Amino acid sequence: MKNDNLEELDLRDEEKFSRREEWTATFKAMSTTAVVLGATLLILSVLHPNLILRNNTPTGGDMGAHVWGPAYLRDVLLPHWRLTGWSMDWYSGLPAYRFYMVVPALAIVLLDLVMPYGIAFKLIVVAGLVAFPVCVYIMARVAKLLYPLPELMVIGATMFIFDESFTIYGGNIASTMAGEFSHSIALALSMVAFGFFARGLDDGKHRVWAAVFIALSALSHGIVLIFVFGGAVVMFLLRIDKQRFRYAFTTLLTAFLLSAFWVVPFLGGHSFMTDMKYGSEPGGGSFTTMWDMYFPLVTSLDILLVSLSIVGFVASIAKKRFFGIWMGTYSIILMVGVKVAQGGLPVIGLLWNPRILPFIYLLRYMLAAVGV
């Protein structure tokens, strides 16, 4: 009789535990959906979907200057089976897509097959922003971060998207609407690339996916090229061993070879690039001190954000969370890079050092979210 009672109690406990697990799983799924979908819809809502679907000519900031390129690619280059070429449309001639990124333009041309050019153009313009929460979530999940870290990182990344402390450096809504849409696309792709690369360093798999997304990110923007390859190298160096060396070398070599058709001429022809003649910062007109560059928000927000990011970094070290350690380490390296690149990149030159800042801000936002 006692045994029967004990068995009955055990069954009840198991049922309660099972129900608790089901409720927990349901709550996690619902909260994940709410965060990722909510962030996506929030971003989309401020981009005026009704105007995106209106067939007109995109403009604003530098955006108007980008309208010509994909159309030239469609009408002149692609019919001759070329992705780059020479145009006499401006100046005494100019290289088309030799020194600017061709992947976003190809996406516009592809959409233009089934819809008006203006709408196709605008859909690709906002694609990186709208996809960003999903890409960050994929990165975190593929990298095996446990709930609620992926969701928190999505929130942090969304805060970055809405950051209005800069308007042209790339990545956020303001920069994208000013014409830096290739940057936001490349940045979204880099998030997925980092996820697969981090996972591959663990299990030796996903080499193709990591290489493809690294290459696509690099082909979508020349500045993000530095960020995505540099970030992958830092990931590897933080976990260096013989087996991971083999994985990192083959993956990054594959990514380089996939992107070499554009990257090699782009980097090799840097002496022919137009120098925008912006002054190095600080002191070039946008910032007065390095402090202003690193901490652009109001003081109270900067203190809160930096404090939480430090907590996230320290907690990641204490709990041996590799991804948080990588974000913190890479943030510091990029901060040093802003100083080092004041006069341009060594050998290559032609880098306005504030262009590195969005990467620091993004990693800081996500690390601060982890610190919560």
**DSSP one-letter code for 172:** S
Domain that holds residue 315: 43-371
Is the residue at 23 inside a domain? no
Please tell me the distance from the alpha carbon of residue 278 to that of residue 286, in angstroms, as a whole number: 10
Residue 38, domain member (yes or no): no
Number of domains in the chain: 1
Taking the alpha carbons at both ends of the chain, their separation in whole angstroms is 52
pLDDT tens digit sequence for 107-121? 999 999 999 999 999
Is 186 inside any structural domain? yes
| Amino acid identity, position 309 | S
Domain assignment present for 8:
no
**What global pTM score does this model have?**
0.92
Which tokens in the block code for residue 20?
Answer: 């608790």
Integer CA distances (angstroms), 155 to 36, 133, 245, 321, 367, in order: 8, 8, 33, 19, 11
With respect to residue 14, please indicate whether it lies within any of the assigned structural domains: no
In a domain, 10, yes or no: no
Distance CA 217, CA 221 (A): 7
Rounded CA gap, 182 and 186, in Å? Answer: 6
Does any domain span residue 137?
Answer: yes
- The verdict on residue 196 lying in a domain is yes
The two three-digit tokens of residue 325, written as one number? 């350690």
Q: What is the pLDDT of residues 259-275, one digit of tens each?
A: 999 989 888 887 777 76
Phi first, then psi: give them for residue 91, nearest 5 degrees. 55, -145
Phi then psi dihedrals of residue 85, to 5 deg: 180, -160
pLDDT digits (tens, 9 = 90+) for 199-253: 999 999 999 999 999 999 999 998 999 999 999 999 999 999 989 999 999 999 9
